[in-house]
């Protein structure tokens, strides 16, 4: 049986996802990728298994059965605003 490897665009069309989501997934290690020189190729069966496995682990995290990863619920990812002195008007009042 011949192994079918898909490009990023083909995989995105097959899974009905955006190309950016596919790229983000394989860069984060959520989607298995095979590199042929500089070209990313995907085995559809392996990708579907990995996505199902990742989905189950995410559901466990959301239900509280596992430790959360990433930001804490009330914590903001933005940097805290630094207080700056107000600008002072100089001259005639």
Residue 10 domain boundaries: 5-63
Span 44-66, pLDDT tens digits: 999 989 988 887 655 555 555 54
84 is a domain residue: no
Strands (E), the chain: 5-6, 34-36, 39-43
Q: Give the whole-angstrom CA distance, residue 32 versus residue 51.
A: 9
40 is a domain residue: yes
43 is a domain residue: yes
Q: Report which of 16, 65, 39, 45 is spatially closest to residue 31, judged by C-alpha positions.
A: 45
Give the predicted TM-score (pTM) of the model: 0.57
Percent of the chain's residues with pLDDT above 90:
41
**Structural domain tally of the chain?**
1
């Amino acid at each position: 049986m011949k192994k079918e490897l898909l490009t990023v665009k083909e995989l995105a069309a097959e899974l009905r996802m955006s190309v950016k989501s596919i790229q983000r997934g394989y860069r984060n290690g959520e989607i298995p990728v095979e590199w042929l020189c500089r070209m990313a190729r995907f085995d559809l069966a392996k990708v579907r298994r990995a996505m199902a496995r990742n989905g189950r682990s995410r559901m466990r995290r959301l239900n509280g059965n596992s430790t959360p990863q990433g930001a804490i619920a009330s914590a903001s990812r933005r940097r805290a605003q630094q207080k700056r002195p107000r600008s002072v008007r100089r001259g005639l009042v």
